[in-house]
Chain A
Amino acid sequence: MVARTLLVADQRDVDLAITFFTVLTVLTMAATIGIVALAALARFSATPAARRIWQPFRSQLSDGGLGLAWLVAAVSTGGSLYFSEVAGFTPCRLCWVQRACMYPLVVVLAVALVWRPARWISLVMACIGAVVASYHILIERYPSLESSTCDPKNPCSLKWFERLGFITLPVMALSAFLFIVTLLLVSRPPTSTAQERS
C-alpha cells in the first residue's frame, strides 16, 4: 500500500505538525470554554462583577471575532491539507464531509467581514461540521456503532494519531468548529451599544 502524497514528509516533521495542531486544539478548547463560561456567568450571575468583566471583553470580540474566526478556518484548512497531502493521512468519508464544511468557511467568513448575512451561512456550516465531527469522534471511540468490520481501504474508525489520550483529527476539527461558532455568536454587534455606553 503506497501513501498518496504530494511531498515526502519526514516523520519528525509530521510529529512537529501534529504537536503544533495539538497545542492549538488545546488553546481553542480553553478559549471556547472560557468565553462560554464568562458569557454564562455574565448572563445568569446575580453579582455584577462577571458582567463588568464580560462587557469589555465581548466588545473586543465583537470587533475582532469575525476576523479571528476566519483565521481559525484558514489555519484548520491548511492543517487539513498538510495532513492529507504531505503527511499522507488519507481522508475518510466523514473527513470529507467536515472538509466540505471547513474549506468554504475560509471564503464565506471573508465575505462575512463585508456582507453581514454571510455570517449566518458560516454559522450553519460550522454547526453542521461540529455535528459531523462529533459523530466521527464517537465512531473512533466506539467503532461498532457504525459497523463490526473495517473497510479495507479507509475506515472512518481509523485513528491516524492520538495525543494527550484524546486529541485525534476529528477532535481537532470539532474544537475548530465550536470555536468558530462561539466567535460568530459573540462577535454579533451589540444591538444596544448606545444604551450600554450611556
Chain B
Amino acid sequence: MTTRTSPARPTPADSKPRSNLVLLGAIAAVIVAALVAFVVVMVTGDDDSTAMTAFDTTTASVSGNALQPSPAEGTDPAVGQTAPVITGKGRDGASLTAPESGRPTVLLFLAHWCPHCQAEVPVVRDWVDAGNLPDDVDLIGVATAMSTDRPNYPPSAWLDREKWDVPTIADATGVAAKSYGLSAFPFWVAIDESGKVVERRTGELSPAEISSLVALVR
C-alpha cells in the first residue's frame, strides 16, 4: 500500500513575490535590449556604404515575341522559337543588345538577392577567367528582379565585389526576364547564331555544365 503525499501548494504570500521577480527580470532584459539597440544604432549611424548607380534603376526594353514560361520538366516549348532581343544599359552605361544578330549567345539571368545566383557568379567568373568562353560565343548577364527591400542590394555593388567582367544588362523591372519565361534563378538561355532558342536551364551549373551549354550554340 502506498501513501500519496499531496504537494504542498505555495501560499500566495510565497509565490507572488517570486513570480514578480522572474517577470521583472524579463522586462528588465527587454528594456536593456532596447537601450543597447538604441545606442548601437546611434553610434554606428547610417552605414550606407553601397551607393546606387544608374545601373540599379535602369530598365531594359525587349522586342520580339515573348517565350512561354519555362516548364519544370518535360519538353521546353521555347526551343526552336526566336528569342526576344533585349536592349539596355551595361554597368559602364554603354548600350548592350542581346542576342546580337549572327552571334551565338548564352544569357544568364541573375537576381542580387538569390543565394544560388550569389554562388553561381564566382563560378562563372572563374570559368570565363580560365579562358573557357570561345571567341565566337557571347556570354551576357542580365541583372533582373531588382528590389531595394531585398538583401545584397544594389546589384552593381555586388557585381563589383565579385569582379564580374561579363557584359551585363540592367533589367530593373524584370521585363526581359518575363519575356524569356523565367521560372527560377539562376536562369540560363542558349541561343544559336540564327537567334533561335536551343535550351533553357535553371539552377547552378558546374563549369563542365557551362561548357556543354555553350557547346550547344556553336
Could you count the A-B residue pairs with CB atoms below 8 Å apart for me: how many are there?
Answer: 130
Q: Which residues from chain B sit less than 8 Å from chain A, CB to CB?
A: 5-10, 15, 18-23, 26-27, 29-30, 32-34, 36-38, 40-41, 46, 48, 111, 113-117, 119, 145-147, 149-151, 174, 177, 182-186, 202-204
Return A22 CB to nearest CB of chain B, in Å. Answer: 8
Known: A1-B145, A27-B33. A63 touches B10 (CB 8 A): yes
- Chain A residues, Cβ within 8 Å of B119: 143
Interfacial chain A residues near B26, Cβ < 8 Å: 68, 71-72
Whether B203 pairs with A149 at a CB distance below 8 angstroms is yes
Return the contact of A1 from the options B5, B20, B174, B185 (Cβ within 8 A).
B174
**Closest CB in chain A relative to B69 CB, distance in Å:** 11
In the complex, which residues of chain B have a beta carbon less than 8 angstroms from the beta carbon of A64? 18-23
Question: Least Cβ distance of A198 to chain B in Å?
Answer: 9
A148 to B29, CA, bound (A): 41
Contact string against B for A residues 151-169, beta-carbon threshold 8 Å, 1 for contact and 0 otherwise: 1100101111100000000
A193's contact among B8, B34, B37, B146, by CB below 8 Å, is which? B8
How long is the Cα–Cα vector from A49 to B34 in the complex, in angstroms? 35
Whether, in the assembled complex, A47 has its beta carbon less than 8 Å from a beta carbon of chain B, the answer is no
A149 contacts B185, C-beta separation under 8 Å: yes
Q: Is the CB of B111 within 8 A of A23?
A: no
- Whether A60 contacts B149 by the Cβ 8 Å rule is no
The minimal Cβ–Cβ distance linking A84 to chain B, given in whole angstroms, is 12
Given A68-B23, A150-B117, A151-B184: A23 touches B37 (CB 8 Å cut-off): yes
Q: Give Cα A60–Cα B41 distance, bound, in whole angstroms.
A: 35
- Assuming the contacts A16-B37, A19-B37, A67-B23, asked whether A59 and B146 have C-beta atoms less than 8 A apart, the reply is no
Q: A1-B150, A64-B22 are in contact. List 13 more A-B contacts (CB 8 A).
A: A3-B147, A16-B37, A19-B36, A20-B36, A21-B33, A23-B32, A24-B33, A27-B33, A60-B18, A71-B23, A148-B202, A158-B151, A159-B151
B16 to nearest A CB, angstroms?
A: 8
A190 close to B (CB within 8 Å): yes
Min CB distance, B114 to chain A, in Å?
A: 4
Q: Does A88 have its Cβ within 8 Å of any Cβ on chain B?
A: yes
Q: A23-61: contact bitstring with B at CB < 8 Å (1 yes, 0 no)?
A: 110010000000000000000000000000000000111
Do A67 and B37 touch across chains, with their CB atoms under 8 A apart? no
Chain A residues with CB under 8 A of B177: 152
Shortest Cβ distance from A87 into B: residue: B149
Q: Which residue of chain B has its CB nearest to the CB of A162?
A: B151
Minimum CB–CB distance for B191 against chain A, Å: 20
Min distance, Cβ B27 to any Cβ of chain A, angstroms: 8
Contact of B114 among A16, A140, A158 (CB under 8 A): A158
Distance (whole angstroms) from the CB of B53 to the closest CB of chain A: 18
Distance, CA A88 to CA B149, complexed state (A): 7
CA distance A27 to B37 in the complex (A): 13
Chain B nearest CB: distance from A20 CB in Å?
Answer: 4
- Docked-complex contact A152 and B182, CB < 8 angstroms: yes
**B144 CB to closest chain A CB, in angstroms?**
9
